[in-house]
Amino acid sequence: MKEYSIEEVSNIVRPQLGEDIPLTLYRILRVIGMRKILGETSGPTLYMMGKQVGTMIGAKDLGDFEAKIKELKVGIPEVQVVEDDHVVVKLYECITCAGFVYTGEMFCDMESGIIAGLLEAVFKKKAKSTQTKSWSVGYNYCEFEVMLY
C-alpha cells in the first residue's frame, strides 16, 4: 500500500466547495464510524494516528505548537510547563468534544496523539499524553497531561 505525503493530500481542487467540511461530518466519521469499526482499539489506534500526524507536521517551539494546533483547528491550546518533563495542555473548542453531552467517558485520543507528536518535536524528547478532562465528563474544555522522557 502506497504512503502519501502531506503535500499530496493538500492538493485540493474544489473551486465551489473549498477546503472546509462540516464539523458534524468529521465527528460522524471520528466518533461514530471509527468507534463502531475499531471498537475498543479505536482509542489506541486514533492516538497512534494523531501522533503520526503531529510528527509529520512538527513544531519548532511552544509558540509554533500553539499556532499549528489553532491553524489545524484542532482547538485553542493553552500550555503550562509544570516541570522539565511535565506539560499540561488545556484545549478549548476541541474539534472532537466541544459541546458534547456528559457521557462519562473521554475519547479525544487523536487530539491527545497530535499534541504528543508535536511536543516531541518541540522538546526533542519522547512524549506520552493522557487525557484528563473533556466536555464528555463535565468540563467546558479538554485537558491533557504530557510526560516527556
106 counts as binding Zn ion under rule CB under 5 A: no
- Cβ 132 vs Cβ 86: under 8 Å: no
Nearer to Zn ion, 46 or 127 (CB): 46
Closest to 81 in 3D by CA, of 126, 148, 15: 148
C-beta closer to Zn ion: residue 59 or 94 = 94
Residues numbered 77-96 forming contacts with Zn ion, rule: CB under 5 A: 94, 96
Q: Is 110 in the site for Zn ion (CB under 5 A)?
A: no
Please choose, out of 32-40, 43-51, 108-116, 119-127, the segment that lies near Zn ion by the rule CB under 5 A.
Answer: 108-116
Name, in order, each residue with C-beta under 8 angstroms of 22's C-beta and a sequence gap of 6 or more: none
- By CB under 5 A, tell whether 69 contacts Zn ion: no
Q: Are 113 and 87 in contact (CB under 8 A)?
A: no
Number of residues that bind Zn ion (CB under 5 A): 5
Beta-strand ranges (E) seen in the chain are 76-83, 86-92, 127-133, 142-148
| 69 or 97: CB nearest Zn ion | 97
Closer residue to Zn ion (CB): 9 or 101: 101
What's the rounded Cα separation, in Å, for the pair 68 and 12? 20
Near Zn ion in 28-57, by CB under 5 A: none
In degrees and rounded to multiples of 5, residue 103 shows phi and psi of -125, -15
Q: Is 97 in the site for Zn ion (CB under 5 A)?
A: yes
Q: Is residue 74 a contact residue for Zn ion (CB under 5 A)?
A: no
Contact set with Zn ion (CB under 5 A): 94, 96-97, 108, 142
